[in-house]
Structure 1
């Protein structure tokens, strides 16, 4: 069965993480994604660790199932080719600084002029409007400005960013969702539109109840380490040999937990129910921490799993990649790359009953598909393509 986006043509001007993650999700679902890259250097992540044989694993993961066309967008010929490709596209997506595509003559209005039902999407740090729209951003900037960094870490220590570029990924996921909504609307109305997604906005949108704590009660939340603002215990503890994460969200779970520990904690009025345990967690934590320290992580996980208490070891990446749950779910896919060889990477994080989302195509070498796209999509002949190469408007890199 065809995947839902197998007839979708996406012209992808994105780079680094937020945009490429978005278009990777759509490519995994079958879309044809043509990635436009700078001649000579390409996407910045082609130069990001880890490397093997001179190729980047970072780029290989985020750009699987895509094609690469090198194009000098600052040249008149490059701009003309980009506009011709927009005529063939369902979606155009970019994540340059606000206004960059307009200055190149390739913004939404230019795209709409050549294809009136185009869906044009922009991801940026702060959006296309507002006083910060031209401010430069990377993930840590969005985490800082979106409130996340201030909430992460321990109260007696400096703010800490989330270990991965979560603001980038979150913006990409939101954009993928918005593109699906826009495509659905176009199917029903025939109209395209412009979508503006900001990393600051999308970071703020996933701050759980922290914004509401302030707007509802005037409380300015601060860092609380691994604790939860509404439940206790909801924390990480040191064990006899490592660490363990434990979370109880209601009285039933905590009752099962104390029984598994062979203790009667709830008889103490300070800990009788969840709100009180949260309020008095400074007194509760040492009791739990002392018990955890006397047991190994494996023993605690086995004991609490039997009691249906949410618990987990704190997995390292090596343990995660080889975990039987991850393997059983098909979350590690093997892909053959012409330079990197066989490599394992995370698969698509959802399972469908009537379609597959395999890694069909390795991430392209820089400009690998230039000739095929110019000839196959735009109908340019060999002489014309050769002339473009001579002027360094485009480049073609062959597979190794």
Structure 2
């Protein structure tokens, strides 16, 4: 089957994570992606540790199946070199601060005049306009600014560092991908491209749908007070006797009834306790047995309870490997091979070539001369 994005050309001026992961998804669905990198050093992520050959493992995972062109965007002839590619590109991705691409002669208004069909996607932290548009920030700052970080809490009640780059991926990569596809579909109808303003901080508010709904009714959420912030025994992390952890989420009554019975409680008696007392009672019961005991007790039961796995354990879990999550590979520019990054692109849309390379810096400079 022909891949859905075959024939599309993408120019990716972005670095690090949000933009490169977005162009990876496009490449996995068949698009030709040309990664524009600065000479000598390239994308800063190439230099990260640990290394998989000459480049970092991070870079290798995010840039599978792309081309690399090394070019100094500030040079006097950069625009002339890029012009043939700019005229025929379908999508452009950039994540500079607002105004930078304009100063380089690569802003949307300038490029839309030479390529009216261009889908121009700008990914930034706070968007193309607004009081904070040019503020220097990273993932953690966007999570903090959107109110999301305030709803995490450690044992001392202070916010804790998120274990994933939520804003970059959930607020940047995925909305960019969604809107690029929507814009391409609209272009099928209108024949015209457009400028997409993807603001990572903006897009995090979607994840707080429940908190915003509560807040609209005057019940703003706080840590350890609401359904998904630790205010109920039905949505908790419990420590076991051997210092392992169980993630328990038996929210619905049928699951909660099963869970309480298996742990050894009378559901009606437990419901008469305050939330804090009920949490403490369940925690005390769970803490009396090792995690293996609880896994056996909960096995094949509808209780919505899982052992907290390490990333290494999860990577080798039989379920995920049976689904083929790590069946694709990536080969570095100097021949090192490793499992490719699992991506949320259905297997039916991905290339039948399960092993695709990551480009060496500037390996495809000849593309500009075609």
Q: Normalising by the residue count of structure 1, what TM-score does the alignment of the two structures yield?
A: 0.86
Are residue 4 (structure 1) and residue 11 (structure 2) matched?
no
Mapped to 2, the partners of 1:292 and 1:4 lie a distance apart of: 49
Deviates more, 1:317-326 or 1:121-130: 317-326
- What SS does structure 1 have at the residue aligned with 2:272? helix
1:151-181 CA-partner distances (Å, limit 9, x unpaired): 1223733222311211001111111000000
Mapped to 1, the partners of 2:280 and 2:315 lie a distance apart of: 33
Alignment of 1:1-400 (within 5 A): 1-154=1-154, 156-170=156-170, 171-217=172-218, 219-224=219-224, 228-229=228-229, 232-241=233-242, 242-270=244-272, 280-332=274-326, 333-339=328-334, 341-353=336-348, 356=351, 359-371=354-366, 373-375=367-369, 379=370
Contact 1:258/1:264 (8 A) holds in 2: yes
- What SS does structure 2 have at the residue aligned with 1:76? coil
Mapped to 1, the partners of 2:355 and 2:112 lie a distance apart of: 31
1:102-146 CA-partner distances (Å, limit 9, x unpaired): 111101011101111111110001100111111112111111112
Mapped to 2, the partners of 1:340 and 1:224 lie a distance apart of: 49
RMSD over aligned Cα atoms:
2.1
Deviates more, 1:43-52 or 1:93-102: 43-52
Mapped to 2, the partners of 1:46 and 1:353 lie a distance apart of: 30
1:62-90 CA-partner distances (Å, limit 9, x unpaired): 11111100111111211222233110100
Contact 2:270/2:278 (8 A) holds in 1: no
| Pairwise CA distance, 1:12 | 0.5
Mapped to 2, the partners of 1:127 and 1:49 lie a distance apart of: 30
Mapped to 1, the partners of 2:226 and 2:56 lie a distance apart of: 33
Mapped to 1, the partners of 2:313 and 2:266 lie a distance apart of: 34
Contact 2:333/2:359 (8 A) holds in 1: no
Q: How many residues align?
A: 366
Q: Kindly tell me: are residues 223 and 315 of structure 1, through their superposed partners in 2, closer, same or farther at Cα, counting changes over 3 Å?
A: same
Q: Which runs of 5+ in 1 are unaligned?
A: 272-279, 380-400
Mapped to 2, the partners of 1:21 and 1:190 lie a distance apart of: 27
Contact 1:239/1:295 (8 A) holds in 2: yes
Q: Normalising by the residue count of structure 2, what TM-score does the alignment of the two structures yield?
A: 0.93
- What SS does structure 1 have at the residue aligned with 2:360? coil
